[in-house]
Amino acid sequence: MKLTDQQIKDIKNQQSQENKTKRVVAAELENILYEAIPVLDHGFIRVIDYMGDDSSIVQAARVSYGKGTKKVSTDSGLIKYLMRHWHSTPFEMCEIKYHVKLPIFIARQWIRHRTANVNEYSARYSILDKEFYLPEPNHLAAQSKNNRQGRGDILQGEQAKKVLDLLKGDAERTYDNYENMLNERYDGSVIDESQIGLARELARMNLTLGTYTQWYWKTDLLNLMNFLRLRADHHAQYEIRAYADIMLDTLKRWVPITYEAFLDYRVGGTEVSSKGKKVLKKLISGDVIDLESSGLSKREWNELMEAFEIKDKTL
Q: CA–CA separation, 139 vs 120, rounded Å?
A: 27
Among the listed residues 46, 200, 204, 231, the single catalytic one is: 231
Whether the CB-CB separation of 119 and 60 falls below 8 Å is answered with: no
- Told to judge if 231 belongs to the known catalytic residues of this protein, a careful annotator would answer yes
Q: Rounded to whole angstroms, what are the CA distances from 116 to 112, 218, 236, 246?
A: 10, 6, 20, 18
Percentage of the chain exceeding pLDDT 90:
69
Assigned fold of 5-127+212-267:
Gyrase A; domain 2 (3.30.1360)
pLDDT, tens digit, 9 for 90 and up, residues 101-136: 999 999 999 999 999 999 999 999 899 999 999 999
User: Residue 314: what pLDDT?
Assistant: 45
Mean pLDDT of 203-227: 96
Q: Is the per-residue pLDDT at 289 higher than 50? A: yes
> How many C-alpha atoms does 49 have within 13 Å on its Cβ side?
9
pLDDT, tens digit, 9 for 90 and up, residues 130-180: 999 999 988 988 887 777 677 778 888 899 999 999 999 999 999 999 999
Q: Is 8 exposed, middle or buried (0-12, 13-18, 19+ CB in 10 A)?
A: exposed
Cα 172 to chain centroid, rounded: 27
In single-letter form, the type of residue at position 281 comes to: K
186 vs 134, higher pLDDT: 134
- Provide Rg for the chain, Cα atoms: 24
User: Residue 150: what pLDDT?
Assistant: 74
Q: Is 20 exposed, middle or buried (0-12, 13-18, 19+ CB in 10 A)?
A: exposed
